[in-house]
Amino acid sequence: MDDHAWGAVLSDNTSPTVSVVIAALNEARNIPHVLGKLGPEVTQVVLVDGGSTDRTIEVTLEHRPDATVIRQTRTGKGNALVCGFEACTGDVIAMIDADGSADPGEIPDFVAALTAGADYAKGTRFALGGHSTDITHLRNLGNKGLTGLVNVLYGTRYTDLCHGYNVFWRRIVPLMELPDPSLPRPADGSKIWGDGFEVETLINVRLAAAGARVSEVKNVEYPRLHGESNLNTFRDGARVLRTIAIEYLRHRRQRAGRTARPALVDQAAER
């Protein structure tokens, strides 16, 4: 078996179980739509609440009484996702935004990419058949530039770096090296690296650096259903650029300081 196939298919050829992680903050009006689009392949819903002051938790449990509801330990989307990953029990983890912009009905397409041999199925709005009805022209240009930079630095062929719809084998979470959710928030109120919106870029470049097998899956992005987005084109674009630079330097230092890939649990043997 390819030693890079850390998320290789289940040995008994059964369908993988799927946990969906939804990070939410005051999304009570959007959650019913998201939960209503989940298919039978989803065996666990993990809602990570960021301190909602509306009825996000109550509405989630009304529509999905079996949902696992947890509160994130610090602040930021990255911390919320890691808290969610730790609570997952499925073979596969799907990251879904709570605002209704992603179609959970596309999850089977991502799972098919995993069972075909990928470790990580990365959503893309820009592959043939993909589309976004929400992205602005300026954000589109910025995304293309940042995606091109990562492709040059890491030898990847990504078409959509800044997108949060991703599905992967739970066993590859250690490769992401995300911050421990049990760590306390810094006394000065700052975020731990990886706790913020940079998390999606971190995951994409760290998996590329680790040699994970990534397969892009086309999908359609829709406008947020209710409420306003926290995205800021220039601020978030600068954050992504900083993330790429820091992570590339980190990757080069790691390569210089080792002669072989770090030993990992033999996940394929455990299947």
Supply the CATH number for residue 92's domain: 3.90.550.10
Mean confidence (pLDDT) of the chain: 89
Choice among 82-96, 128-142, 184-198, 211-225 with the minimum mean pLDDT? 128-142
Asked whether the predicted pLDDT for residue 133 surpasses 90, the reply is no
pLDDT tens for each residue of 36-45: 999 999 999 9
Range 133-161 average pLDDT = 89
Asked whether the predicted pLDDT for residue 266 surpasses 80, the reply is no
Q: Given this model, what pLDDT does residue 230 score? A: 65
With respect to residue 13, please indicate whether it lies within any of the assigned structural domains.
no
The torsion angles phi and psi of 79, rounded to 5 degrees, stand at: -65, -40
Choice among 23-37, 55-69, 123-137, 147-161 with the minimum mean pLDDT? 123-137
Euclidean distance between CA atoms 63 and 240, whole angstroms:
35
Q: Given this model, what pLDDT does residue 129 score? A: 84
With respect to residue 245, please indicate whether it lies within any of the assigned structural domains.
yes
Q: Given this model, what pLDDT does residue 127 score? A: 84
**DSSP codes of every residue in 180-247:** PTTSPPPTTSPPPTTSSTTHHHHHHHHHHHHT--EEEEE-EE---SSS-----HHHHHHHHHHHHHHH
pLDDT tens for each residue of 56-75: 999 999 999 999 999 999 99
Q: Given this model, what pLDDT does residue 207 score? A: 97
With respect to residue 238, please indicate whether it lies within any of the assigned structural domains.
yes
Structural domain boundaries enclosing 63: 18-257
Residue 200: pLDDT band by 50, 70, 90 thresholds? very high
| Domain total of the chain | 1
Euclidean distance between CA atoms 132 and 124, whole angstroms:
9
Asked whether the predicted pLDDT for residue 262 surpasses 70, the reply is no
Choice among 80-84, 105-109, 226-230 with the minimum mean pLDDT? 226-230
pLDDT tens for each residue of 235-258: 877 888 999 999 999 989 988 886
Euclidean distance between CA atoms 3 and 156, whole angstroms:
19
With respect to residue 169, please indicate whether it lies within any of the assigned structural domains.
yes
Q: Give the amino acid at 121.
A: A
With respect to residue 266, please indicate whether it lies within any of the assigned structural domains.
no
With respect to residue 95, please indicate whether it lies within any of the assigned structural domains.
yes
Range 115-137 average pLDDT = 87
Burial pattern 11-22, b for ≥16 Cβ within 10 A else e, equals eeeeebbbbbbb
Q: Given this model, what pLDDT does residue 232 score? A: 59
With respect to residue 171, please indicate whether it lies within any of the assigned structural domains.
yes
With respect to residue 122, please indicate whether it lies within any of the assigned structural domains.
yes
Range 28-47 average pLDDT = 97
